[in-house]
Structure 1
Amino acid sequence: MHPVLCGLAANASLPSLLIDQLIALADDAVDSELAHRPDLSHAQVVALASRAEATAVQLAYEGRLTASDIDPVAQPRAALALLDEQAGRPEWARLFAVDPVVEHREKLAECPGLPPDVVETLAADPDVRVVAELALWTTPEMATGLASHPHAEVRRAVAANEATPPAVLAMLVTGEGLPAAQWCLVCDRERTPFVHDPHCPRPDCDLLPGASCDGSHESTVHDMRELALRNPATPVEAVVGLADHPSMVLRRQLAARPDLPPDLKERLARDPAPVVRADLAENPAIGDAQIRALTADLDQGVRRSLAHNPSVPLDVLGRLAAVTKTGPTLLPRIATASPAEVEDMARSTNPALRMLVAQRRDLPTGIRDLLALDPDAKVVKSVAPHPGLSEAQLRAMVDRHGVRVLAKVATNPAASPALLEDLARHEPPVQKAFREIARHPNATAPSLLACLTDDQARPIAAGHPALPPHVMVELLSDDNWQVAEAAAANPSLPQAVMPELIPAGAEP
């Protein structure tokens, strides 16, 4: 890896001639960085794509290559990427449908818009991985046919396909109306009964940890039901029986569904597993009475999930906030609060509720200014990044609350260069503030030089365009490769220095 060259390849100010010289290096890491540049000419794109297929795949997905640029025999993965983007040629699909490399057929099976004859060929593929991949993405008609496939792995994929008809999904969950599956990936390879050791020492074994089969393909059937539970097309009537299933994983997926009948919600609210109750608590479909009942749950995770429920009443949220850590995030119910509710929360005697509403970034001026004067540091810390605060207000926050709010003040988009310099010189220093100052667009050379003293802020500061040019040049030889790469990618790096960084002989 060449950090300086990789950074240079990403530098937005790099002249086109130097881009050609970097392409001439034929370095995979540098090529990968160059491929992200939006200013490449088509000739430069083709040159990069011709050298490494991984780069060609990336460029194909970004829409920067056409079918005329790719030879499907020489670069099959890039051709498949174009087919996946529906920018390839139909004859390519027919070529790959009989390709001896199974991974190529498997990738083809996930591509949309394939010709019908290609779909039929893939559905009859001798390798179950190809058929399963097709089942995951195919049409309702093909999914219906594949639901009775003798291999359980194919049925598992059909269960995950949102195009599968609801009646077919119901049959997959209950097993009614379908012939029993004959094989799964486990009994394909092992004598049953068999349970795969989670610490399997065989380096060539790709069975999942805990995969098992006693003749009923139980681990694959379990996975199929889990995927069906996640599938919004699966009718709830088909899955209600899973409320008492011994698998906590299935009960969790059931608890998260938006279409649960009332009696099922009540049963899941009494589930012995806290994670099941937590998933139910975050479900917007539960009603007010159930929300209030779950407030008394002794598990912290359940109460935290309840706080993230977009339907939680504000009085309940206030009680939860006082006893539950919700993290520095804008909760859904706070985000949708009405102007009257916002004002009530901002004037609440509960500091936890004031802290939550202070996370909004669209507060009316009066409410924002009120929260900026809050006596509680946690509230001020939440409102400090709010746009529109004046420099005087930001400085007053630091004067009153010091290191507790300093890093958040540094994130405010209106923080002035002078304020950022003062924050960088604050005693005692705040390490997290250095990182915020280093990425702030208003940071100046003095504050960035202070940020360079912090190990975590140093790579960020090295890429800031306000850093003095001579410092950028010095950082190109920094012991930390991330710092050197960031300095090389700095758009303010003197262009006179750039050619010196490219090894001699790299001529286009």
Structure 2
Amino acid sequence: MVAFHASALDGVARNPALPTALLLRLLAFGRGGDRPPRGALQRAGLPESAVVAILAHPDPGARIDFAMSAWAEPSQRARLADDPSPKVRAALAYGPEVYDARTGVAPLPDAVCVRLLDDHAPSVRAALLESPHVAPSFVASMAAHHRAEARREAVRAWEVLPPGVRSALLADPDSEVRRAAALWECRRDTRVTAALLRDPRSAVEALRRGLLARADAEPYVAERAHLTALAENPSLPADLVERLAVDPDEAVRLAVSVRPELDETRRMAIDFTVGDHDRGDGVAWVRDGLADPEVLRRAATSAHPLLRRTAARSPHLPHDLLRLLAGVEDPVVENHLCIHHPDTPEEVLMRVFARLGGTFSAWMAETHPRFPREGLAARYADHPDGNYRRLAVRDPAATPALIERLSHDPEVWTRQAAARDPRLPLHRLREALHVRELASSAGTNPALPEDEMAAVLDRAGVPA
């Protein structure tokens, strides 16, 4: 197949205006050895006839693509639970690899998860247990499962498990289940913490999270062992916290500086340094409280960069805290705001776009619902940087003549953006379908007439 025909076909498969008849024709493609384009398998709002065609497709790869679609309804994907291929069932059990960070993915129905968790193929069971899309209620229900690996994962729901269920997991016949349960229970029981400290596999995490008796903490301070983990422990006695606050190890002092009980004066009196990417996963007590107004206010109003950066991950920031963080002038804070908050100010989005063009954060900024649109054509159509000329296509006031001019731009990303725009004059849109680097973008253009879409399928050799 000629390269630009294949690219145009991929574009048409993703075209939101693709008629059902052509979609079904695409889905039948592959029964002779070629797989349907992924865009035809991973679309929002698939009609029932298309779902039936995918479920019956002879190529397991096509069914895998559908099983991992972030746009299909869970009830549609769930119909693959009895698929003959364990690879398809494993793909269904795990779910989408990549999805829109602003919306997430709805979990499969509990009844389907039950079947997948008892699948005869270990790969299917493992995929479900590793999936980030399983409902919390189902995670909790696994505490009574007959398989040890399921019970081990159930401890993630420890805080909502009834006391009797917790006790059963702590006394589980499987040692790994008992250890996983103890790593949660140690947060409230010094005896459990002490036992875990004797296990080299568990000691560091127990030091970080467990309820510590003073006698268990002091030897680590004296021997200077695992001090960074110990500095995070919420039960560490105050005098030991003060000793670690002046420790010669900068990483230890930094860990002390983010402790939740410190007031702002004491926190900022500690000698610490924060790098551009320190604590990429955030400060635990703030991360755990991203929906808690009090936690968010403490963190967002702090002078400590790591607390502000973690607070910026919350989509629940009230307007005053959002404005406060938007003015902090910390690139990490701005990146988090553009990825996680639905009301991020336009000026923040533009700064992220300008600073990080071509990165994930810049893409999230540009695709953010509040990214500016009006006035971009006048401001950027003749900008010396093609990355900015591309923004002119977003302007609702951009004329067809401007869109056509930009479809000839020296920068390929700008040409592709123009090729996707429905204002592109039809003669140029047809022409773009035969240009190697524009064919895919032109194929996605919702203004592409149905007969042109059908012609793309004909040229690509898709049977009628």
Q: TM-score range by the shorter chain?
A: 0.5 to 0.7
CA change 1:417–1:277 in 2 (3 A) is farther
Aligned to 1:415: 372
For structure 1, the 5+ residue unaligned runs are: 98-102, 113-135, 144-153, 176-222
Which whole-Å CA distance do the structure 2 matches of 1:319 and 1:506 have between them?
69
Deviation at 1:286, TM superposition (A): 5.6
Aligned to 1:17: 21
Which whole-Å CA distance do the structure 2 matches of 1:238 and 1:357 have between them?
32
1:325 aligns with 2:279: no
Query: 1:280-295 maps to which residues of 2 (within 5 A)?
Result: 280-282=230-232, 293-295=243-245
1:7 aligns with 2:11: yes
Q: 1:138-189 CA deviation, whole Å, 9 max, x = no partner?
A: 654846xxxxxxxxxx6x776555387546645779x7xxxxxxxxxxxxxx
- Give the AA of the match of 1:506: V
CA contact (8 A) 2:420 2:445 kept: yes
- Give the AA of the match of 2:275: K
Which whole-Å CA distance do the structure 2 matches of 1:47 and 1:314 have between them?
61
Query: 1:191-340 maps to which residues of 2 (within 5 A)?
Result: 227=180, 230=183, 237-243=191-197, 245=199, 247=200, 250-257=202-209, 259-261=211-213, 263-264=215-216, 272=224, 276-282=226-232, 293-299=243-249, 301-302=251-252, 313-315=263-265, 318=268, 323-325=273-275, 327=277, 332=286
1:43 aligns with 2:49: yes
Q: Count residues with an aligned counterpart.
A: 397
Deviation at 1:19, TM superposition (A): 0.3
Query: 1:289-438 maps to which residues of 2 (within 5 A)?
Result: 293-299=243-249, 301-302=251-252, 313-315=263-265, 318=268, 323-325=273-275, 327=277, 332=286, 345=301, 362=317, 368=323, 413=370, 415-419=372-376, 422=379, 429=385, 437=391
- Give the AA of the match of 1:422: R
Which whole-Å CA distance do the structure 2 matches of 1:323 and 1:452 have between them?
45
Query: 1:53-132 maps to which residues of 2 (within 5 A)?
Result: 53-56=60-63, 62-64=74-76, 104-106=120-122
Q: Which has the larger radius of gyration?
A: 1
% of aligned pairs identical? 20
Deviation at 1:16, TM superposition (A): 1.0
Q: 1:425-464 CA deviation, whole Å, 9 max, x = no partner?
A: 566x596x789x5997879576994997667x56984686
CA change 1:109–1:344 in 2 (3 A) is closer
- Give the AA of the match of 1:240: A
- Give the AA of the match of 1:413: R
Aligned to 1:191: none
- Give the AA of the match of 1:106: P
Query: 1:434-453 maps to which residues of 2 (within 5 A)?
Result: 437=391, 449=406
CA change 1:310–1:23 in 2 (3 A) is farther
Deviation at 1:86, TM superposition (A): 6.1
Deviation at 1:37, TM superposition (A): 2.1
Query: 1:456-495 maps to which residues of 2 (within 5 A)?
Result: 461=417, 465=421, 468=424, 476=433, 484-495=439-450
Aligned to 2:98: none
Which whole-Å CA distance do the structure 2 matches of 1:279 and 1:77 have between them?
40
CA contact (8 A) 2:274 2:305 kept: no
CA contact (8 A) 2:26 2:36 kept: yes
Deviation at 1:485, TM superposition (A): 3.9
Q: 1:38-78 CA deviation, whole Å, 9 max, x = no partner?
A: 333323212222123354466568322687x9976x55666
CA contact (8 A) 1:294 1:302 kept: yes
Q: 1:212-265 CA deviation, whole Å, 9 max, x = no partner?
A: xxxxxxxxxxx77864555559976345234355x4x53333234354455545
CA change 1:237–1:388 in 2 (3 A) is closer
- Give the AA of the match of 1:36: Q
Which whole-Å CA distance do the structure 2 matches of 1:443 and 1:280 have between them?
58
CA contact (8 A) 1:307 1:317 kept: yes
Which whole-Å CA distance do the structure 1 matches of 2:333 and 2:141 have between them?
49
Deviation at 1:502, TM superposition (A): 0.9
CA contact (8 A) 1:5 1:485 kept: yes
CA change 1:4–1:64 in 2 (3 A) is same
Secondary structure of 1:323's match? coil
Deviation at 1:484, TM superposition (A): 4.9
Deviation at 1:9, TM superposition (A): 1.7
Q: Which structure carries more relative contact order (alpha carbon 8 Å, separation 6+)?
A: 2
Deviation at 1:14, TM superposition (A): 0.9
- Give the AA of the match of 2:22: L
CA change 1:60–1:360 in 2 (3 A) is closer
CA contact (8 A) 1:462 1:475 kept: no
Q: 1:95-135 CA deviation, whole Å, 9 max, x = no partner?
A: x99xxxxx8443676799xxxxxxxxxxxxxxxxxxxxxxx
Aligned to 2:99: none
Which whole-Å CA distance do the structure 1 matches of 2:142 and 2:267 have between them?
44
CA change 1:360–1:48 in 2 (3 A) is closer
CA contact (8 A) 2:300 2:307 kept: no
